[in-house]
Homo-oligomer: A and B are copies of this chain.
Amino acid sequence: MSLLLSVSQIRGPILTQLRSSTSIFTRKMSSIEQFKQSPHKLLVIPGPIEVSDEVLFANAHPSMSHVSPDFIPVLGDCIRMTRTVVDTAKGQPFLIAGSGTLGWDQIAANLVEPGENALVLHSGYFGDSFAECLETYGANVDQLKAEIGAAVSQEAIAEALGKKKYKLLTFTHVDTSTAVLSDAKAIVETVRRVSPETLVALDGVCSVASEEIHMDQWDVDVIITASQKGLGTPPGLSILVASVRAMQVFSSRKSRPTSYYGSWKKWLPVMQAYESGKPSYFATPPVNLIYAFHASLSKITKSSPSLAERYELHRDASRKVKAAAQELGLKQLPLDPAFAANGMTALWYPDGLSAGDILPRLVKKGIVVAGGLHVDVKDKYFRIGHMGITAVEKSRGDVDAVVKALGETLAEAAAEKLKQANLRFGPLKDNGLMMKARL
């Protein structure tokens, strides 16, 4: 108590905080105003991305019953806000503990019956995997493959659809392995023109909330995504939205869904119950992650900047990173700027430099980027993510920090190479690397 008296000489927020805590000695922090995540390196890989203090604090919510009256509306709100994010009025969201990959299983097990045909548009690593997933559940899969850095052309799509009847067409909106952004609107237009009944599934794991998406207006049938990219939440949530058409196709299927955990027969009543404020049970939802997702979705859909402004801020961040890369002589994987993602950038290492020259130097500067992922060229490029708060909250200075660190890194790496070359061969003339790095 005598201690409290001396503390009382201090006015304002400190005093309030001291008084409101259980003990002024152990003074524990249990409100968001008082929570701040630990210092850490800036995470600018194409997911998981940087997560705000608010969202992380929500992930540390006290344990709650999954059927409690306090939790039910939180999941209900998440279902509604998920609709808003993909711009649909009547699409049916499914929020299930899992990774983005589980979305593929959901599509394969609920929308395709064994023996039916599926067409996979391939603009990188994730096309192959999606195709393999569909085959696992009995689909006959054809792939249309674009060269590395390109998206499949509308002509090729139209031709394939004209030759065979497909139940489903899938494409990766942004292939995280190549940063290629497919033209979702044009793809659906082609499908509706040539084969109107074919369902169109958009893999939006690396695009939802960072690239413009209008599910209803574009007439997309299924969108799958995950929590840890544009949606700014820790990983662990599979997010899927099915159109009215997709749900009709589902409910008229002849055989039962070929997955149990991913069965919409099980999940649809649960989603409907939670949305209408009632408890229901199939499998325990990831309660804490749903609180975190709620915090992030509230920011994205109900506060400033608006969704439209958010997309523009992602385009801004993207232009800045891509311009800086060009300035440094780095080439993008996407062959055409029109097909480059706005939430990430994939860059070839400059001649003479490799992952070992670049990535550890960036880490030393506190910046974590990602190596390559596309099997054929894995060791030849790296990837930078600029989604969520990194793109949207300019005051954080993330994009500037990345650009600065990238410039310094290339200069250092080039200088080091030059030094090694000089040591081995004696003084050499500038071999071009120095120019590219623009010291």
Contacts and interface: CB of A to CB of B under 8 A. Distances in A.
Interface string A56-83: 1101111111111000000000000000
A375 to B, nearest CB: 11
Contacts of A104: 260-261
How many chain A residues sit at the interface, stated as a range, is 35 or more
Interface string A1-17: 00100110110111001
Contacts of A238: 97
Nearest to A25: B13
Most chain B CB atoms below 10 A, which of A26, A51, A283: A283
A236 interface: yes
A406 interface: no
Given A28-B34, A30-B39, A34-B29, A261 B101 contact: yes
Interface in A79-122: 97-102, 104-105, 108
A416 B17 CA distance: 42
A17 B18 CA distance: 12
A76 to B, nearest CB: 18
Interface in A269-293: 281-289
A14 B24 contact: yes
Copies in the complex: 2
B97 A257 contact: no
Contacts of A234: 63, 286-289
Given A101-B282, A261-B101, A29 B35 contact: yes
27 contacts: A7-B14, A9-B9, A13-B25, A14-B24, A14-B25, A26-B33, A37-B61, A43-B62, A48-B65, A48-B284, A48-B287, A51-B62, A63-B234, A68-B368, A97-B98, A98-B98, A98-B261, A101-B261, A102-B261, A102-B283, A136-B263, A234-B288, A235-B286, A235-B288, A258-B258, A281-B373, A289-B289
Nearest to A53: B28
Interface of A: 3, 6-7, 9-10, 12-14, 17-18, 22, 24-31, 33-40, 43, 45, 47-51, 53, 56-57, 59-68, 97-102, 104-105, 108, 132-133, 136-137, 226, 228, 234-238, 256-263, 281-289, 368, 370, 373
Given A6-B9, A59-B59, A101 B287 contact: no
Contacts of A289: 234, 236, 286, 289
Contact of A105 (B17, B31, B259, B284): B259
Contact of A259 (B9, B99, B136, B370): B136
A43 B67 CA distance: 12
Contacts of A45: 65
B108 A260 contact: yes
A100 B260 contact: no
A62 B56 contact: yes
A112 to B, nearest CB: 12
A69 B118 CA distance: 39
A51 B104 CA distance: 32
Contact of A99 (B22, B35, B284): B284
A357 to B, nearest CB: 18
Contact of A65 (B27, B98, B261, B368): B368
Contacts of A61: 37-38, 56
A29 B38 CA distance: 8
Contacts of A49: 63
A115 to B, nearest CB: 15
Contacts of A62: 37-38, 40, 43, 51, 56
A257 B48 contact: no
Given A100-B284, A228-B284, A260 B64 contact: no
Contacts of A67: 370
* Those 7 A-B pairs whose CB atoms lie nearest each other, nearest first: A28-B36, A236-B286, A101-B283, A29-B29, A40-B62, A99-B283, A234-B288
A262 B108 CA distance: 13
A48 B34 contact: no
Contact of A235 (B28, B66, B105): B66
A10 B12 contact: no
